[in-house]
Amino acid sequence: MTNSAGNPPANVIGVVLPLERLSEFELAALKRLKDSSQIAGILLGAVRGSGGEWDLRPLIQTPSGTIIVRGVAIVSNDENISDAQVTLRETLRAFAASSSSPEGFAWGENAPAKILWMSRRWYDQSAEITLSDDEFYKLVADLVLLHGGGVGHGHLVKDNLRREGANNTKILDPGFSFFVNTALASGGQHAGDPRAADLRLLVELAPSGLQARVQSAVTTGRLASLTVQKNSSLQNSGQGYSGRGYSGQGTATLNNPAQNSQPEGRGQVYAPFQPVTQPKVLQTLKLRLVKRVAAALVAISIVAGVSVWYRQEREIIPMTEATQALFSGQPSLMAQVAVAAIAGQRSAQALIVQAVTEGKISDKLVNKRLITIAFDARWEQQLSDNDRETILRLSLAKLYPEGLNNSPSFSNVHPGILLAVIADISEERPATFADNISLAGFSSLPGEVGAAFKALTEAGVQQVSDPSARALARIIGSSATDNDIARVLEGRGAGARLRALVPLFELQPKLARNTLNFIASSSGVLTELLRFLGSDFSAGWGKAAPQTILNILAGTPPASLQVDQWADLLAFPEPGVKRAAAVALTERFVKQESETVTLLAAADLGLSRSQIATLVSALGLPPEERYTLLSRWFTSGPNVQALKSILLVRNKAAANDPFNLEAARALSNSNIVFSNAELRRLTQFKEPLVRAIAYSHLTSDDPAQREILEQSAQQESDQKLRNGLLERLSDYARTQAALSK
């Protein structure tokens, strides 16, 4: 059906509407929703939804593809809507952590506009799919996790399923249809539980060969019995873990973590939320634990033979029950939460991470360092199910030792997981499993951690098992000792190795002080460089922060230094720092004196630190204000070779330049020798006194020098000097004529 213009009517559900077909009020509503989502991109148009006349969904073109946004208005002062609003918010929260969330999924709230929104990739409307058995089992497994957290989708139909690659089904728009059609249409009353709607609709989604079984599972309330998963993803690969450390052989390299930034609403660990139904009694937890241990023993016997596929019931714990168990202090009850987390229940994982970060769980029962590093917010959302299971088996081993019956494999794990493991191993314990793993994976981690390992890689360290890399991992895990600092700094290129610690100083201020104290009490290149800064306090180094001093020793002086400090660094023993000082001075303080400052940094002119600092300070003043400092500088007795070198690079200075005048006077009373090239350069100066010195060193008897005199006589602007040159050349000509007779 089309209108007279050949376009479908603007009120048809699912039709993509260009902006020109929308009314002024519709455009305003559309822009309001786009602004609420804060998604940067071009507004292409809108899709008409089923929620009524004003259910318009913006289509936004972003660098990563086309995004659709859905939103509902929040009536914050209407108590009848608050329950449905909370349910929708918690549904989106749980869905963000689910493997079934589609590409580009994000959600958020805009308080001023009172809009709750979500966004996702835009899919072809004609791409409806029919689920295979494996896809259906995966859908059920994800649904069990969501339901276990107390939330559901509410409108689980084929229109809300799409496929991203082979056997990778994604669930679209969780909770929105249920919220709009049930909560709002009924006058704000939240009618029913969205999980009940999921169960009713699940039967219709099941492949024909599974419908009878699905109907039975839904009727009996045993939805988890439908889940299918592989035997433990931690296959026996000869890599072991014990209380004495990690051992075994490993040849894999790390996968780099995803580079794209996470959208709003992801990358957070949310506090657990309450289920809608009443929790089971705590007494059932012990019985479940016994069943779980028995299942683990069966799994061990299978792994000892060959790897097979089998079906088992996934342990799901309602969150109220899990919270009470985890904080009970009773290891047998806490173990059940550990089992659920290892089995993949994201809400149980989030509960454990929250308890660790808030210090609400004992170190004697959980390895906090492993969890804190592995679930760092900067890469937590990049962790795969296998990554999570691997680290949870290790960190929860005291609660659930059966989790280590299968030796953990570190093949293809996320760098954040391996970093946590390496950081947890003391220096004297082996880590042979990491012998052939490249350090490049650690370098790809975000923020200061990746920057630290990148610097260590640039210093020549290539393997995770290198003592320097292991020490840096322990430092990142906040367990630094002097031995760890020594391991990072030992070897060739101490300054380059120190740069591996620099990114961590802002995160760990004590590390900067400990590193500085260690260098001061040691011997070596860094200690000698530190003595340079400690031998002269005129530049204020004694009051500088440890981070500032360490940055200088590392060859990366901070931009916040003052002009006298930059000037002092022109005499620093390390060439890279001298060059950095020259650049900073010419860009910020003495812009017109780049040649002079560059010379001071590049050549050993035999000037003292105070002479260099005084000269730079003088050159930073306007020419007419330089005389006092320059007089002090010349009085300090700089050597004539330094005077000559500095003068030669200042050929662009104006006539009457204070330095050139004083330098010319000083050199005129010396026995300094100039080359012909230097004399030719001096004849090009704007200051007449400098040109006069050059002329005084030239002789007509030398053909090359006579040529310079002849050219100068033609170009000289000062009449007195020009007359003198012409007279000398005439005398030479008369002499030569007399000799030829």
Instruction: Tell me the CATH number at 50.
Output: 1.10.510
Instruction: Give a yes or no: residue 278 inside a domain.
Output: no
143 and 212 co-located in one domain = yes
Mark residue 644 as left, alpha or beta (left: phi above 0; alpha: psi -120 to 50; beta: remaining). Answer: alpha
Burial degree of 425 (CB within 10 A; 0-12, 13-18, 19+): middle
Give the Cα separation of 387 and 516 in Å (integer): 37
For the cut 80, the answer to whether the pLDDT of residue 367 exceeds it is yes
422-425 long-range contacts (CB < 8 A, ≥24 apart) are: 422/464, 422/469, 422/470, 422/473, 422/474, 423/369, 423/373, 423/473, 423/474, 423/476, 423/477, 423/479, 424/367, 424/369, 424/370, 424/477, 425/245, 425/246, 425/470
620 and 684 co-located in one domain = no
Of 25-29, 117-121, 316-320, 374-378, minimum mean pLDDT range: 316-320
629 and 734 co-located in one domain = no
293 and 381 co-located in one domain = yes
Residue predicted with more confidence, 164 or 620: 620
Residue closest to 73 by CA, chosen among 180, 173, 181, 174: 180
**Distances, alpha carbon 383 to alpha carbons 121, 237, 400, 414, in Å:** 21, 21, 22, 6
656 and 687 co-located in one domain = yes
For the cut 60, the answer to whether the pLDDT of residue 321 exceeds it is yes
Which of 638, 662, 686 represents a domain boundary (last residue)? Answer: 638
Burial degree of 28 (CB within 10 A; 0-12, 13-18, 19+): exposed
User: Which pLDDT score, from 0 to 100, does residue 319 have?
Assistant: 79
**Dihedral sign, CA of 199, 200, 201, 204?**
positive
Of 14-23, 171-180, 423-432, 572-581, minimum mean pLDDT range: 171-180
For the cut 70, the answer to whether the pLDDT of residue 10 exceeds it is no
User: Which pLDDT score, from 0 to 100, does residue 56 have?
Assistant: 80
pLDDT > 90 in the chain, percent: 36
Instruction: Give a yes or no: residue 542 inside a domain.
Output: no
Confidence of residue 305 (pLDDT cuts 50, 70, 90): very low
Residue 167 has a CB neighbour count (10 Å cut-off) of: 11
Q: How many domains does the chain have?
A: 4
Give the pLDDT mean for 330-357: 89
Structure tokens that stand for 114 in this block: 């009172």
Instruction: Give a yes or no: residue 545 inside a domain.
Output: no
Of 6-10, 411-415, 669-673, minimum mean pLDDT range: 6-10
Instruction: Give a yes or no: residue 264 inside a domain.
Output: no
For the cut 90, the answer to whether the pLDDT of residue 720 exceeds it is yes
pLDDT tens profile 257-304: 333 333 333 332 222 222 233 333 333 343 444 444 444 444 433 333
User: Which pLDDT score, from 0 to 100, does residue 498 have?
Assistant: 95
Give the pLDDT mean for 5-21: 61
18 SS3 class: strand
Structure tokens that stand for 643 in this block: 């005077």
- Please compute, for residue 467, the number of CA atoms within 13 A of its CA located in the half-sphere on the CB side: 12
Residue predicted with more confidence, 649 or 430: 649
**To 10 degrees, the CA torsion angle through 10, 12, 16, 18?**
0
User: Which pLDDT score, from 0 to 100, does residue 474 have?
Assistant: 93
User: Which pLDDT score, from 0 to 100, does residue 82 have?
Assistant: 55
440 and 500 co-located in one domain = yes
For the cut 80, the answer to whether the pLDDT of residue 123 exceeds it is no
Contacts of 124 (CB under 8 A, 6+ apart): none
Of 16-30, 183-197, 420-434, minimum mean pLDDT range: 183-197
Give the pLDDT mean for 487-501: 92
Give the Cα separation of 72 and 115 in Å (integer): 6
User: Which pLDDT score, from 0 to 100, does residue 152 have?
Assistant: 75
Give the pLDDT mean for 241-259: 33
User: Which pLDDT score, from 0 to 100, does residue 511 have?
Assistant: 92
Instruction: Give a yes or no: residue 450 inside a domain.
Output: yes
Give the pLDDT mean for 476-483: 82
For the cut 60, the answer to whether the pLDDT of residue 443 exceeds it is yes
Give the Cα separation of 290 and 467 in Å (integer): 42
For the cut 80, the answer to whether the pLDDT of residue 565 exceeds it is yes
Residue 362 has a CB neighbour count (10 Å cut-off) of: 13
248 SS3 class: strand
Give the Cα separation of 708 and 710 in Å (integer): 5
Give the pLDDT mean for 726-738: 90
The model's pTM: 0.56
Structure tokens that stand for 253 in this block: 């390299």
Kindly state the DSSP code that residue 202 receives in the 8-state scheme. Answer: H
**Distances, alpha carbon 165 to alpha carbons 258, 317, 516, 602, in Å:** 17, 31, 53, 59
Instruction: Give a yes or no: residue 290 inside a domain.
Output: yes
pLDDT tens profile 106-120: 777 765 556 777 888
Give the Cα separation of 161 and 169 in Å (integer): 7
User: Which pLDDT score, from 0 to 100, does residue 139 have?
Assistant: 80
Question: Parallel, antiparallel, or unpaired for β 161-163 and 115-121?
Answer: unpaired
471 and 511 co-located in one domain = yes
Instruction: Give a yes or no: residue 687 inside a domain.
Output: yes
Contacts of 81 (CB under 8 A, 6+ apart): 74, 75, 183, 184, 188, 190
Which run of H or of E encompasses 170? strand 169-171
Residue predicted with more confidence, 163 or 585: 585
**To 10 degrees, the CA torsion angle through 87, 88, 94, 99?**
140
Instruction: Give a yes or no: residue 11 inside a domain.
Output: no
Of 136-150, 341-355, 571-585, minimum mean pLDDT range: 136-150
Give the pLDDT mean for 543-552: 92
Kindly state the DSSP code that residue 654 receives in the 8-state scheme. Answer: P
**To 10 degrees, the CA torsion angle through 712, 714, 720, 726?**
90
Of 293-307, 448-462, 585-599, minimum mean pLDDT range: 293-307
For the cut 80, the answer to whether the pLDDT of residue 99 exceeds it is no
User: Which pLDDT score, from 0 to 100, does residue 127 have?
Assistant: 56
For the cut 80, the answer to whether the pLDDT of residue 672 exceeds it is yes
pLDDT tens profile 134-158: 778 878 877 777 776 667 777 777 7
Structure tokens that stand for 183 in this block: 């909560």
> What domain range includes position 694?
651-741
169 and 218 co-located in one domain = yes
Which of 605, 638, 671 represents a domain boundary (last residue)? Answer: 638
Give the Cα separation of 85 and 178 in Å (integer): 11
For the cut 70, the answer to whether the pLDDT of residue 737 exceeds it is yes
User: Which pLDDT score, from 0 to 100, does residue 180 have?
Assistant: 52
Which of 614, 638, 662 represents a domain boundary (last residue)? Answer: 638
**Distances, alpha carbon 281 to alpha carbons 73, 317, 399, 412, 638, in Å:** 38, 11, 21, 40, 89
User: Which pLDDT score, from 0 to 100, does residue 567 have?
Assistant: 93
598 and 669 co-located in one domain = no
Confidence of residue 318 (pLDDT cuts 50, 70, 90): confident
Confidence of residue 126 (pLDDT cuts 50, 70, 90): low
Residues pairing with 56 in the sheet: 48
Mean pLDDT over each residue of the chain, to the nearest integer: 77
120 and 244 co-located in one domain = no
382 and 530 co-located in one domain = yes
411 and 517 co-located in one domain = yes
